[in-house]
Structure 1
Amino acid sequence: LPNADPGSVLDAMAAEPILINRPLVETDKGVRLCRPQDTVHEIL
C-alpha cells in the first residue's frame, strides 16, 4: 500500500491485523512496536 492514504492503511490494518507488527505497548512515555522485545525498555 505504498500510495495509499493513511485512512486506507488504517482500514487495512483493522481488517487484517496480521499486517501489524506486534506487540504494541503503550505507557505514559509513549507507544512502541516492540520487536525486538528490548524496544519496550525505551518506554518503561
Structure 2
Amino acid sequence: MLFGKNRLVPNISPHKTIEGSVGGILSSIAASIIYTRLLLPGIIFLDS
C-alpha cells in the first residue's frame, strides 16, 4: 500500500487517513478551479 498508512483519528473513524484528507482537499480545490474557469468565465472578480 503506497498511501493511507497514517490514520487521522483512529478513535473516531478508524479508516480515515491523513493522505485521504489531503487528497480530498486538493481534489476539491482542483475541481473548483476547473469549474470556475470553464463554466463561469464572465465573472470579473475571479480574475483578480
Same fold? TM cut 0.5: no
Which is higher, the Rg of structure 1 or of structure 2?
2
- How does the TM-score come out when normalised to structure 1? 0.30
| Bigger helix share | 2
- How does the TM-score come out when normalised to structure 2? 0.28
